[in-house]
Structure 1
Amino acid sequence: MSSQRRSQFFIVITTFNRADYLSELLGSVAALDPAPDGVIVVNNASTDTTVEVIDGVRREFAALPVPIPVIHHRLEVNSGGAGGFSAGVERALAEGAQWMWLMDDDVTVVPGAVGAFGPWMDKYDAVVGRRYDAAGEPFFWQNSFNTFLGLPLPVKGDIFEETDEFATNVGCFEGMLLHSDAVKGVGLPDSRFFLTWDDTIYGWLISLQRPVVYVNEFVLHKVRPQRSLNLGIRHLNDSSDLSRYYVMRNRGLVAQYLRAHNSYNRVGFALGTALTMSKELVRLVGVEKTLRGGSRLFAGWRDSRQIMAAGDFVPMQPLERTS
């Protein structure tokens, strides 16, 4: 990691009331070789023992042979994953980060992950590595954002069968690595999403300016077990009422971003919204074996209509022009 292109590598973690998972993640970060230059933990107004975990880790990391700064960025209110990553990326830039590796709190990192990213960091500004699921199997994630429908579609087959990189146009904040140039070019992640769709749109916005690649490097383990339904070309995992609400509500924000970039098709987007609703209903029945929670889907859809109707929407703005 001696290349100037690879300097100031920061990990940005967003956490909310998962102190046990956070402790396991930070323990794995301590084993990274090479190590990151800093860790930023965005505490989304947690009410459990998250503060104690972070304080303990800060002391442990300071005592390492090569100390790793741990910055506790505490938010006064829970701003969701979107708000957490927006705050974390902003703080990382303020700390001088050149690279920001974004992740949730329910994963662990592979010891050689930073080095595995190295060659790709010499070529690209936006990279997504692979993950193992809680059972140690490859985690399914290979999507491409379809602007006509306004949603990511699964890519069929083994995308790494003949190459170790796949050009995509979506992001995933569970393991996306970003150079500061990519961030500055599109602005911070949009906290208005609160939960879901934020990383999809963020990756799409970056792809309009520069390549976004999914690479054949396993860098994370998902440690939180999830119920899942295998549909062949994709998996559906279990969800929550909060996520169900926002997956529909944020269709309004997706529409506004498509409009801002002259990519909105009224008929296609309506079809995409219907497909999204159908997918979530299949998730309820097939994974969670219930229809309870369906009301949150319809509440989110209703609120998305108000967001779509707003005539004063302003997208997140670039932080500065980059060459």
Structure 2
Amino acid sequence: MASSTPAVTVVVTTFNRAGYLRVLLETIARLDPAPSSVIVVNNASTDNTDEVIAAANLPMPLIHHRLRKNVGGSGGFSVGVERALAEGAEWLWLMDDDVEALPGAIAAFQPWMGTYRCLHGRRYDYSGQPFFWQHHFNAFLGVHFPVRGNVFRHRPVFHTNVGCFEGMLVHADVVRRVGLPDPRFFLNGDDTTYGWLIAQSEPVAYINEYVLKKARPQKQIDLGVRHLNDSNDLGRYCGMRNRGHLARYLRVKGSFNRWGFGLGTLLTAAKEVLRLVAVEHSLSGLAPLWRGWIESRGILRDPEWQPMPPVETNPTDPVKETR
């Protein structure tokens, strides 16, 4: 177990959610112990995000990394992680803009940071109830499945093989080895894939400590084994298209099965149709699903596709910021 508090850099990706971002920064300011720095990647927001960041009163350095165009959550985290490494980050705590950090979050992580190098804490949903996040990735199908029951019944830590950028705490050395998050995903599936890549060589841990609360309400239904949240057409399209990128990573790691992955794609499409019918009460999202599947086929056949390479970053290198 760790006996001191390692330096933690918080990396936030934001797009047109100035109100949520303001609250998140206020909660980060109250963290005890505090992070060493905060990096906010602004995905070309058109609301008053610039003003919120400029007015933030944090007891630690705040870096505003503004992009000229919206590169999605995947691109934002890729840029933010690269910037954090260039700034000399030791640990990176990745989070979306629509969560709140609980005051003792870093202290909750601390006892485990000497044992694991990729950690996730528990989250509350908008209503203050436990947010379901306990999955295991099945490489044969290319699908992550919920793990039923209380995963903390016998131990305070659950080993998984998926990741979530809404709260992943990862060591810089792991990032350098695995590479930056893949910006080609744009959104949806990038963090699951990243956690699986990490898990190929070391454990990904989910600890029985609450560290975040979801600040944005979502429509959802309870399926018993998990909650199914609402989505949108862009998320559906990217989710299906990104199975092409996922398949390529499975191939790189020697874990791709054509027939199993095809079945997994059918299951993924069925889940999205269920989401449309049961949560959103609409079938208007079927067209984006189809377009995403067509594009995934092109990714599978792309002869120039390459995985993200390991990172060779010198913390003393000059950082180029896009404004």
**TM-score between both structures, scaled by the size of structure 1:** 0.95
Q: How far apart are residue 320 of structure 1 and its match? A: 4.8
Unaligned 5+ runs, structure 1: 62-66
CA RMSD, aligned part only? 1.4
Structure 1 equivalent of residue 195 of structure 2: 203
Q: How far apart are residue 146 of structure 1 and its match? A: 0.5
In the alignment, structure 1 residue 262 sits paired with structure 2 residue 254: yes
Q: How far apart are residue 312 of structure 1 and its match? A: 2.0
Q: Pick one of 162, 178, 182 that aligns with 1:190.
A: 182
Structure 2 equivalent of residue 297 of structure 1: 289
In the alignment, structure 1 residue 212 sits paired with structure 2 residue 204: yes
Q: How far apart are residue 288 of structure 1 and its match? A: 0.4
User: Counterpart of 1:40 in structure 2: which amino acid?
Assistant: I
In the alignment, structure 1 residue 169 sits paired with structure 2 residue 161: yes
Measure the CA separation in 2 of the matches of 1:215 and 1:129.
5
Deviation >4 Å, runs of 4+: 1-4
Structure 1 equivalent of residue 114 of structure 2: 122
Structure 2 equivalent of residue 21 of structure 1: 20
Q: How far apart are residue 3 of structure 1 and its match? A: 4.8
In the alignment, structure 1 residue 147 sits paired with structure 2 residue 146: no
Measure the CA separation in 1 of the matches of 2:311 and 2:201.
14
Structure 2 equivalent of residue 11 of structure 1: 10
Structure 2 equivalent of residue 231 of structure 1: 223
SS of equivalent to 1:128: strand
Measure the CA separation in 2 of the matches of 1:278 and 1:206.
28
SS of equivalent to 1:160: coil
Measure the CA separation in 2 of the matches of 1:312 and 1:242.
25
Taking every aligned residue pair, what percent have the same amino acid on both sides?
Answer: 59
Q: Pick one of 79, 92, 95 that aligns with 1:100.
A: 92
Structure 2 equivalent of residue 35 of structure 1: 34
Map residues 24-63 of structure 1 onto 2, 5 A cutoff. Answer: 24-57=23-56, 60-61=57-58
Does the aligned pair in 2 maintain the 1:8–1:96 contact within 8 Å?
A: no
User: Counterpart of 2:66 in structure 1: which amino acid?
Assistant: R
In the alignment, structure 1 residue 157 sits paired with structure 2 residue 128: no
SS of equivalent to 1:262: coil
In the alignment, structure 1 residue 278 sits paired with structure 2 residue 270: yes
Measure the CA separation in 1 of the matches of 2:2 and 2:208.
22
Aligned length: 313
Unaligned 5+ runs, structure 2: 314-323
Q: How far apart are residue 2 of structure 1 and its match? A: 8.9
Measure the CA separation in 2 of the matches of 1:72 and 1:2.
31
Q: How far apart are residue 122 of structure 1 and its match? A: 1.2
Q: How far apart are residue 234 of structure 1 and its match? A: 1.2
Structure 1 equivalent of residue 105 of structure 2: 113
Measure the CA separation in 2 of the matches of 1:97 and 1:74.
19
Measure the CA separation in 1 of the matches of 2:2 and 2:278.
49
Measure the CA separation in 2 of the matches of 1:205 and 1:153.
17
Q: How far apart are residue 7 of structure 1 and its match? A: 2.6
Deviations 1:11-35 (A, max 9, x none): 0000000000000100111111111
Measure the CA separation in 1 of the matches of 2:150 and 2:173.
30
Q: How far apart are residue 8 of structure 1 and its match? A: 2.2
Measure the CA separation in 2 of the matches of 1:219 and 1:255.
32
Does the aligned pair in 1 maintain the 2:2–2:113 contact within 8 Å?
A: no
Does the aligned pair in 2 maintain the 1:249–1:300 contact within 8 Å?
A: yes
Deviations 1:72-128 (A, max 9, x none): 011111010000000001111111110000000000000000111001111110001
